[in-house]
Chain A
C-alpha cells in the first residue's frame, strides 16, 4: 500500500487505525436486505477487518455479480469503487480491473447462485489463475431475489419452504477452488464473528486467490426446519477444523503457540496466521487431505468450517504477466505509444 502508518493518537478524538482513519471511513450505505440476513453480518466483518488492517479505502475495489449477496458492496466501504456487474460474471470484471491496476485490492462478492450455477464457468477459471482477489461467496443455498428457488450449493435432501426436496448433490465450492488452484480456501459462518474476522484479515494479507465460502442463512426463504443452511442447522452441525487467529505484520506482538498443536503460516506481508488444530491430523497445506475431509463432511452432514488450504508462496497471475510497476491504466503516452522510428522499421519490413 502507498500509505505509511500514522501514530494512533491518544484519548483525544475518535479512535483511528494505523492510517489515521476512523471506522466511519469504512462504512457503507444502509442495508436494504431483510432484518437478520447473514449477509449484513458479513458486511460488518468486512468493515471491521478492513479498518483493523488499515486498508486505504480508495485502493479497494468491490465488484459483485447479481443477487442479494451482490447488493452488499453498497453496504460497506463507501469510499471504495464498486462494480455491480452482470449475473455470474464478476470474476472477469474483477480480472480486467486488476489487469488495469494491479495496485488495487479486490474483494469480489458473490452468492451461491451467482457462483455455482450461472457463474461456475468464470469461477473455475478465476480460481485457476490465482489472481490476487478475495472472492467471497455469501452462501445460503437459495435464490433470494427470485423468491426461494434452490441453488447448486443446496445439500442433497434439503427442503424448500414449499416442501420441495433437493434431489441433486451440492457443488462444494471450496473443494473446487482447492482443486483448481486457489491458494487460500476456507469456509466460515456469518454468525461466527471471531473466525470470519480472522479469516478476512488473512485474506487481506494474502497475495493470491482467496476463496471464502461463508454460510449465511436466508431468514426469509431458507431458515426453516429441513433446510441445511438455517441458523439452527449450522449451529447444530458446525464442525470447526481449527481455532483461527491472525497477527498482522504491523503489530509487534509475540504470540506464544505450541508447534505441536498449532500451524503457523507466514503471509506474504509478514503477517502470521495461526491455526490451532481441533482435528489433530489436519494439514492445511495438503490438498488431497483437504478434499478428502470436505467429502467426509458432506457424507456426515457436517458444516465444516476453518482454513482448508493455504499456500502463500504460489506465484500469482499478476507476477506471471511481468508488467511494469506503475498501473497500466495510468501509464503516460510516452510508454504506450512507440515512436515513429518503430513504425518506420515495421513498414520497411513489410515492403
Chain B
C-alpha cells in the first residue's frame, strides 16, 4: 500500500502538521428529503473508486421530509468498515443541528459549513471552512426550484478539493448515479465542479486528512444488505413472497420485485414467482405458511413489530411442520421503538417465538455476502427441516451501503427436503406424516395436488399422532414433542458453523454475531496494539448452537459476548445451552444506542472489565 500512518510532513503546514491518509470519518448533516442521498452516494463512490475501502451509514429519522438526517462515510485503508465513533470531518448543511453537531466534535476535527451559519464563532479548537452555497448554486443552476437539490452536490466538490479526491472519480460517480438522466448528470457535475473550484481558489487546507489512491477496492461491489438478500432469495429459487411494508425491511422485497421482474420471467412472459403485499404481518406469514405447505419456497421480510404479530403463526408452522423463510431486519424495540435505528434485539423472542415449547432456527448474517449466501441456505434448511428459518439481519446491514467482494454463484443444489411423490406412494402404499422413519426427527410429507388416494394428510395445529390424526392422548403428544426436539437437535449439525479466528495463546474469547462483527474485528486489533490483549474470536452464524460453540467456551477462561441489545439476549440463549459450570465464564458487552456498534466502545468496555 502506498500509504503511511500519521507521518509528519514538513512541507505542508509547517512542523508538527500531521498527514493522515485514507483513515477518516466524514459526517454529512442534512435535512431529510433534501436529496442529499445522491450527493452522499457520489462522495462514497468517489472514494471507493480511488481504491480506498469505504462504508456509508445513514442515520435517518422516521419521517418523510424535514427532520435532521446524518450520513457517515468512513474511509479506512485497513479495511475497517464498521462505524467509527469519532467524526473527523463534518459537513454541516442543516441549520437546525449545525451548532450541536459542531459542539460534539473532538478537538482538531474539521467543519465545512454554509457561510450564513457562522459556525466558526462557536469554538476555536476546530478547523473551519465556510462556503457561500447559495451564490455558487445560483451560478450553475438557473432553475430556482432545483437549487435545493443541487446545493448538496456542491459540498461534494468542496470536500473533494479539501480531501484531495480526484474530480475524475467524482464525475464518474455522478454519471453512474444519474445513469439515464444526462441533463441531471450535467447539472450535478457543474455543481460539484463549482464547489471544487471554489475550494481550490478560496479555502486553505489546514486539516490532516487526505484521500490518496490505493488499490484495495478493485473488483469490489457496493450494495446494501437488503438488496443482497433479495438477490440471494432470487437465486435460492424462492417462488412466493408475501409481505407487509415495515422499516427497515421494505426495501428487501421492493428490490426483489425489481430483480424478479427482470430475471424470473419465463420465455412466455409469465412469472415464475408470485409476490403479494398482504394486509398485515399476520396475513403475510399465514400466506408464507400456506404456500410452504403446498410446496412453494416461500418467504417474507419484516422487523420486530411484525415478528411479534407473527408469533401465533410461528408456533403453527413449528407444530404442523411447514417450511418458510422469515427475514427479520432488526430495528430498535420494544414497541415502535426507534424504527430507523439498528439493534440485535429480537434474538430471544425469535428463538422461542410463539407459545408452548416452540423453538426456531435462526441464521445470523454479518455481511452483505452472507445476506446473499445465507438465503439459499435458509431455504434449504427450511425445507429440509420443515420449519421456519429466521434470518436475523439488522437495519445497519440491511439499509446501509457495504463494500464487498462480488458474490459467488451458489454451488449447493436446491434441497426440497423429504417430499413423497405419487411414484413414492405407489411403491410405499401409504405414509405416516409425522413418523420418524429415519431417526433424525424429520417425517415425510406430501404436497396437495399429488394424485394418489393415500397422499392426503390432515395438517392441524391441534394435538396429533404420527398419522396426523387428531389426538389428545398423553403418549401421542409427548412422543411428538420429543420427536420435534430430536429434529431440532439434528439441525445442530446442519446449520452454518461459526467462524473462528484465533489469536496467539489467548485466554480471552470474544463471541459475537451479525453486524457486531465489524466493531469486534477492529476492536481486537485495538486490544492487541494498544493493550497487548490477545483474543480469540468466534462469530456465531446460527441457532441452534453447534458443537464448536461449546468447545470455544470450554477453551477460554473468560468469554465476552458482544451484542447490540440491553439484556444480553444471545448470552442468555447460550447460557441455556451450556453446562452450568461454564456459564460463569460469560460476560456481556451489550450496546443499545441504536447506532451501529463501534470498535472503541467494545475496547473500552472490555479493557475496563479486564481491569486495564
Contact = CB atoms under 8 A, between A and B. Distances in A.
Interface of A: 2, 25, 56-59, 61, 63, 73-74, 78-86, 89, 91-101, 103-104, 121-122, 125, 321-325, 327-331, 333, 335-338, 340, 342-343, 346-347, 350-351
A252 to B, nearest CB: 27
A87 to B, nearest CB: 8
Contacts of B287: 92-93, 95-96, 99
A323 B237 CA distance: 15
Given A85-B316, A97-B291, A92 B283 contact: yes
B449 A101 contact: yes
A93 B316 CA distance: 11
Interface string B280-293: 10111111111111
Contacts of B316: 85-86
Nearest to A74: B458
A96 B242 contact: yes
The 5 closest A-B pairs by CB, nearest first: A96-B290, A92-B286, A329-B295, A100-B296, A336-B237
A74 B470 contact: yes
A167 B296 CA distance: 46
B239 A2 contact: no
Contact of B291 (A99, A321, A343): A99
Contacts of A331: 239, 272
Contact of A340 (B223, B409, B460): B409
A77 B219 CA distance: 59
Contact of A330 (B235, B291, B295, B414): B295
B293 A336 contact: no
A347 B406 contact: yes
A58 to B, nearest CB: 5
A2 B271 CA distance: 22
Given A331-B239, A333-B237, A337-B236, A81 B291 contact: no
21 contacts: A25-B453, A74-B458, A82-B456, A82-B460, A85-B461, A86-B312, A92-B284, A95-B287, A97-B294, A99-B290, A101-B295, A104-B294, A104-B449, A323-B273, A324-B272, A335-B266, A335-B272, A336-B238, A336-B414, A337-B235, A343-B409
B270 A324 contact: yes
A343 B294 CA distance: 29
Contacts of A84: 458-462
Contacts of A79: 453, 455-456
B276 interface: yes
Interface residues of B, number: 73
Contacts of B297: 336
B286 A122 contact: yes
B290 A92 contact: yes
Given A80-B456, A83-B320, 5 more contacts: A58-B453, A82-B456, A86-B461, A99-B242, A350-B406
Contact of A351 (B220, B283, B458): B220
Contact of A93 (B271, B289, B407): B289
B262 to A, nearest CB: 9
B293 A83 contact: yes
Contacts of A350: 221-223, 406
Nearest to B270: A324
Interface of B: 219-223, 231, 234-240, 242, 259, 263-264, 266, 268-274, 276, 278-280, 282-298, 312-313, 316, 320, 406-407, 409-410, 413-414, 446-453, 455-462, 470
A97 B290 CA distance: 4
Nearest to B223: A350
Nearest to B240: A99
Nearest to B456: A81
B293 A346 contact: no
A96 B312 contact: no
Given A324-B266, A324-B271, A125 B448 contact: no
Contacts of A347: 221, 406-407
B222 to A, nearest CB: 6
Among A57, A121, A338, which residue has the most Cβ atoms of chain B within 10 A? Answer: A338
Contacts of B457: 81-82
Given A96-B292, A96-B293, A101-B294, A330 B447 contact: yes
Contacts of B459: 81-84
A121 to B, nearest CB: 6
A89 B274 contact: no
A323 B271 contact: yes
Given A96-B291, A338-B263, A56 B451 contact: yes
B283 A125 contact: yes
A101 B271 contact: no
A188 to B, nearest CB: 26
Given A84-B461, A91-B283, A336-B414, A328 B273 contact: yes
A93 B238 CA distance: 18
Contact of B448 (A61, A324, A338): A61
A208 to B, nearest CB: 17
A103 B449 contact: yes
Contacts of B288: 96
Given A58-B455, A100-B240, A100-B294, A327 B286 contact: no
Given A80-B456, A96-B240, A85 B286 contact: yes
A121 B281 CA distance: 12
